């Protein structure tokens, strides 16, 4: 059977996610929503989590309109007590703790490394690195108690590289990759796998905002930073949110049962480690 695109009206349960609960942070963004839709397509019950209930609920409606099962939860990743609500919400709404956790929430700002403010550094690290750490630490004990589970973090190829104009973002995503390996080691005795995906250029509003900001900082025409980056990609195109969602679904599934502590680069060959 050919996999159907995220958001398809028939939920096939392709990878055996039926009966599993998946919690996804950053669910209101383009990549987060695609991940939620893909997991629901393959049979999971999805908890769409974002910083406002409006963003989370919009993704819940997309899933339910396609015939899937979902809940919506507002969580501010800067507030540990908010993060601590994920497992109780799952148990209350669906009768069980999440067996799948996808840490997709993230933000990005832009500045020359010599102009970068401490406030921007802290804000990006607080959401991207600290938020991922706290979320994995809050949800994984329930997985340990169940003796199974899987976690996928969403990093970035910038965590493997460096960039003058978003050094703090690149460093925060490098931290996500390091945290992924550390949790993979810590949770392996409990049969809980922890992996990462590292997207490259993905055609989202965040990337369009990046193009505008980079054009402003570098003093070039809007669209030029995007053109130059796509020109560097061996496959010759930007990625899509569904490209990332497909890799996440694989890592979350039993198809990846002997994979932990790894990172799949979803970048069209932009990075070949």
Instruction: List the catalytic residues.
Output: 169
Distance CA 178, CA 164 (A): 21
The beta strands (E) that lie in the chain are given as 21-25, 45-50, 70-74, 100-103, 149-154, 192-199, 263-266
Task: Tell me the backbone φ, ψ of residue 128, rounded to 5 degrees.
Answer: -75, -50
Q: Starting at the edge strand that comes first in sequence, how are the strands of the sheet with 192-199 ordered? A: 70-74, 45-50, 21-25, 100-103, 149-154, 192-199, 263-266
Distance CA 233, CA 137 (A): 35
Angle at 155 between CA 254 and CA 193, to 5 degrees: 25
Distance CA 198, CA 153 (A): 9
Q: Which pair of structure tokens corresponds to residue 261?
A: 């502590």
DSSP symbol at 130 = I
């Amino acid at each position: 059977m050919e996999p159907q695109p995220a958001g398809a009206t028939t939920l096939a349960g392709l990878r055996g996610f039926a009966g599993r609960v998946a919690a996804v942070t950053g669910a209101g963004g383009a990549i987060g929503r695609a991940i939620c839709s893909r997991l629901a397509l393959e049979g999971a019950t999805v908890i769409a989590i974002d910083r406002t209930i409006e963003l989370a609920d919009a993704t819940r409606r997309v899933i339910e309109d396609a015939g899937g099962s979902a809940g919506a939860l507002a969580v501010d990743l800067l507030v540990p007590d908010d993060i601590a609500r994920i497992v109780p919400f799952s148990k209350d709404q669906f009768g069980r703790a999440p067996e799948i956790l996808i840490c997709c929430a993230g933000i990005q700002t832009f500045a020359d490394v010599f102009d970068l403010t401490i406030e921007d550094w802290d804000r990006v690290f607080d959401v991207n690195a600290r938020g991922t750490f706290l979320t994995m630490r809050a949800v994984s004990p329930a997985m340990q108690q169940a003796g199974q589970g899987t976690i996928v973090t969403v990093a970035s190829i910038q965590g493997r590289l460096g960039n003058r104009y978003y050094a703090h973002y690149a460093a925060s995503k490098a931290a996500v990759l390091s945290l992924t390996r550390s949790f993979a080691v810590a949770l392996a005795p409990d049969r809980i796998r922890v992996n990462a995906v590292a997207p490259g250029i993905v055609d989202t509003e965040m990337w369009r905002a990046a193009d505008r900001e980079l054009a402003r900082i570098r003093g070039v025409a809007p669209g030029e930073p995007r053109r130059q980056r796509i020109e560097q990609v061996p496959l010759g195109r930007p990625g899509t949110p569904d490209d990332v969602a497909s890799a996440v679904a694989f890592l979350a599934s039993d198809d990846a049962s002997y994979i932990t502590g790894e990172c799949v680069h979803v970048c069209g060959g932009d990075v070949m480690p």
